[in-house]
Amino acid sequence: MKEMEKAAAGFLYDANFDAEVVGQRNAAKDILFEFNHTPPRQAEKRKELLQSLLGQVGNGVIIEAPFHCDYGFNIEIGANSFLNVNCVILDGAKVAIGSNVFIAPAVGIHTAGHPLDSERRDQGLEYAFPVTIEDSVWIGAGAQIMPGVTIGRGSVIGAGAIVNRDIPPFSVAVGNPARILRTITEKDREKYRTA
């Protein structure tokens, strides 16, 4: 079994010393370097670079530079989603981002982690558990999404939150570790005026 197949199956895998894995990361870094240094006015080129890097990119997706990820091919982003500057996605496992998702600056989405015992860490082993962000989620600035988490549809994650467990749909979650503050209700529609 190849190392990325181990990662996809939820097993420890060699993320640091396996030549194929390192090569895949380096290939992604080359594309990211070009993307992060392509002027915003060259929108078509930026779009082509993202399509060559990511597993799936929906229509209307905007990713602001700088953007960083490990591999790219494990990332799927639905239509009309927006990732602001300094987004980091460690995609050793699949990262599924739905449609109409807003991700604020300096957000980290992490599928990867390391064993607690130093012997296996020293061998370059790590694990990766998938992250799912469902449709119409808003993630505040500086939030960190940890391995294996699902954030339910329509939820809001407060700035700086550390999300280490699943968040149900239509919830507001804040803090470290993130806790559910309340459910989003119809009253929230009345809070802001429209023209």
pLDDT digits (tens, 9 = 90+) for 99-116: 999 999 999 999 999 999
pLDDT confidence of residue 110: 98
Out of 37, 68, 110, 114, the active site residue is 114
Confidence of residue 191 (pLDDT cuts 50, 70, 90): confident
Confidence of residue 189 (pLDDT cuts 50, 70, 90): confident
The angle that helices 19-36 and 43-53 make with each other, rounded to 10 degrees, is: 170
Question: Is 90 exceeded by the pLDDT of residue 176?
Answer: yes
Q: Is 37 noted as a catalytic residue in this protein?
A: no
Question: Is 90 exceeded by the pLDDT of residue 166?
Answer: yes
- Look at residue 88 and give its three-state secondary structure: strand
**Domain 3-191, second-level architecture:** 3 Solenoid (2.160)
pLDDT confidence of residue 120: 92
Question: Is 90 exceeded by the pLDDT of residue 195?
Answer: no
pLDDT confidence of residue 67: 98
Task: Report the mean per-residue pLDDT for the chain.
Answer: 96
**Type of residue numbered 175:** G
Question: Is 90 exceeded by the pLDDT of residue 193?
Answer: no
Question: Is 90 exceeded by the pLDDT of residue 39?
Answer: yes
- Show me where the domains of the chain are located: 3-191
Q: Encoding tokens for residue 22?
A: 């390192």
Q: Encoding tokens for residue 87?
A: 């987004």
Q: Tell me the percentage of the chain whose pLDDT exceeds 90.
A: 94
Question: Is 90 exceeded by the pLDDT of residue 194?
Answer: no
pLDDT confidence of residue 83: 98
Give the Cα separation of 111 and 129 in Å (integer): 5
